[in-house]
Amino acid sequence: MTLLSPAVFLDRDGVLNEPVMRDRRPYAQLDPEALSVIEGVGPLLAELKALGFLLIVVTNQPDVARGTVTREAVERIHERLRRELPALDAVFACFHDDEDGCTCRKPRPGLLLDAARSFGVDLGRSFLVGDRWRDVDAGRAAGCTTVFVDHGWDERGPRTPPDVRVASAVEGLETVRRLQEARRA
């Protein structure tokens, strides 16, 4: 019998890197050269890796379907993110828009379920850290403990209550670390 691993599923923009802000609303970073990793995230990811977590990015990138960026440009952003955050194990991205009706676009749990199958993840021992309602709903649907990074942006909140609400990505990752250490005690 193979023992399944816990994972931390991480949204990209607003959790790992700074989003592009327009009119108090966050948008995906589309320029690999402008990518800015959130200060303090890298060392915390390394700590989570040392606790035995797989670290998997799950990100909606609908700008590809909308024609405002190419898939290759998004992949270059992911390559840069993996270079700057070497603790990351994988990036799973949905390139569809809502109208496509796919199963991988959050709030559906398809990205998390695909990653769990690919990496042998125990979803019940895993966490989702995200900053949008779609992240929380996807994490909840997959059976993960959800950590909502509430930046106070001018947009709707999660449909389902998160397990934990925090004010920053760093606080979210620290919360996962504390919860995991408490589980082990």
Select from 45, 106, 127, 35 the least CA-distant residue to 77.
35
Quick one: which H or E segment has residue 26?
strand 25-27
Rounded-to-integer distance, Cα 107 and Cα 115, Å: 15
Please say if 163 is a catalytic residue: no
Please say if 11 is a catalytic residue: yes
Length of the chain: 185
Q: Per residue in 110-128, is it b (16+ CB within 10 Å) or e — as a string?
A: bbbbbbbeeeebebebbbb
Output DSSP code: residue 159. Answer: S
Sheet of 54-60: strand order equals: 90-94, 54-60, 7-10, 127-130, 145-149, 164-166
Question: Which of the residues 11, 131, 135, 137 is marked catalytic?
Answer: 11
Task: Supply the residues annotated as catalytic.
Answer: 11, 13
